[in-house]
Amino acid sequence: MPQVNIGLIGFGTVGTGMVEILINNRQLIEDRLGAEIVLKKIADLDIGSDRGVKIDPTVLTTDAMEIVNDPDIDVVVELVGGCDQAMEYVLMAMERGKHVVTANKALIAKHGKHLFETAEQHNVDIAFEASVAGGIPIIRALREGLSANQIKGILAILNGTSNYILTRMTDEGLSFDEALSIAKRSGYAEVDPTLDIDGSDAAHKLTIIVSLAFGLPCRYEDIFKEGIDMVCPEDIRFAGEFGYCIKLLAIAREVDGHIEARVHPAFVPLDHILANVNEAYNAIYVEGDFVGPTLFYGLGAGKRPTGSAVVSDLMDIARNQIKGITRRVSPLSFVRLPAKELSLKPMDQLITEYYFRFSALDRPGVLSKISGILGANNISIASVIQKGRAGHGSVPVVILTHEAKENDVRKSLELLDKLDVVTEKTVLYRVEKKTGI
């Protein structure tokens, strides 16, 4: 039987998942491939810990260069994480004619262009299914399954940690800090959860999705992002009163020849399919011009789901190798980039509906001052809730708007927050529509 030799650099959670699948489903994988995937070497600084998987100890090494320089290794699996060392290993592997599989979203989002050019130059495959949404095969779906479609837009929940925290806040009325502590205790948040809660992780993934969906090689730095750390239970309650929940959304849409690409907490209508994606689950809603709406749902993290994605890439590359081909599908599925004249829409040009929560003194004329400034900046009010006062302090005045331009919104909030009747910085959320993309 033909043999494909692989080397794994980084024997952490995902690496362990990959090894587990290769062992547990060995027969099934061989039956599907007609080839054997042989794990020749594993490099990690820690080769002493028991990961609960049976491996021959002689495959372990602390020197990743043993893998990079081994002429018998066909595919290098990079699961080191971070950008610096991972980048070096991946480039060196490709320069030596080895294919690469990586789960490293930051690496692809920040250095994709250079990596894909290097892969082309050395005629090797680079595969990264595990970099977006863990076990959900969204990369393959965009690259192949949906490749005949013009993608109209994508709405996605791409960060399981944030979704878990928001679910706890919504279901139990907890504060952000309380929900984060539970997420840490239950293993859903890392000790340092910054990249998950500030929107960076979702923005890395959206960068990759935008490139695949629209053929627009976009840079991570160009994606607008806001995290969930400012979400508070009061806004979740008001959202519910208006018929919405709050989710950390990654949004990409083609609007008049421009691509909107943004990550932020957003109001999602309770009857939207994404409103029911809870706990640590991810989901990606994709609309294509011919296929219509599609939904991809599953676990976006964890050793088994992410390991499953890594092994699917290994199997793809093994199939190529058996047939004696490489690069059957180019990494972003576009041979010519940019596919058409598209550019990222500047965030201040965004047009959407908004939610504002003002903290205002409960005095005659306050509402008319607020609505006057909004009206003067082309912002039309759709609904208002003002709660009665318990004492004589400030009260929340909550407003949903019709479609407005982000630039006008920012200008009016700057003016409104200077009013003596507005006592705290106004809270803003962008609101998703009831139907479609």
Contact yes or no for 86/319 (Cβ under 8 A): no
How far apart CA 116 and CA 279 sit, in angstroms, is 34
CA triple 260-266-271, angle to 5 deg: 105
Minimum CB separation from ligand HSE for residue 138, in Å? 12
Q: Which residues contact 95 (CB under 8 A, 6 or more apart)?
A: 118, 122
How far apart CA 336 and CA 333 sit, in angstroms, is 9
Which DSSP category does 388 fall into?
A: P
CA triple 136-132-159, angle to 5 deg: 90
Q: Which is nearer to ligand HSE, 183 or 413 (CB)?
A: 183
* Catalytic-labelled residue, pool 41, 105, 152, 205: 205
* Sign of the CA dihedral with 306 first, then 312, 315, and 317 last: negative
* Sign of the CA dihedral with 87 first, then 92, 97, and 98 last: negative
Q: Which is nearer to ligand HSE, 137 or 160 (CB)?
A: 160
Return residues touching ligand HSE (CB under 6 A).
159-161, 196, 201, 300-301
Minimum CB separation from ligand HSE for residue 83, in Å? 15
- In order of 148, 210, 336, 386, the CA distances from 362 in angstroms are 56, 45, 59, 9
In the residue annotation, 113 being an active-site residue is answered as no
Minimum CB separation from ligand HSE for residue 378, in Å? 37
Q: Which is nearer to ligand HSE, 208 or 216 (CB)?
A: 208
Minimum CB separation from ligand HSE for residue 421, in Å? 41
Minimum CB separation from ligand HSE for residue 90, in Å? 18
- In order of 94, 202, 231, 332, the CA distances from 116 in angstroms are 10, 21, 38, 9
Q: Which is nearer to ligand HSE, 137 or 288 (CB)?
A: 137
Q: Which is nearer to ligand HSE, 204 or 430 (CB)?
A: 204
Residues acting as catalytic residues = 205
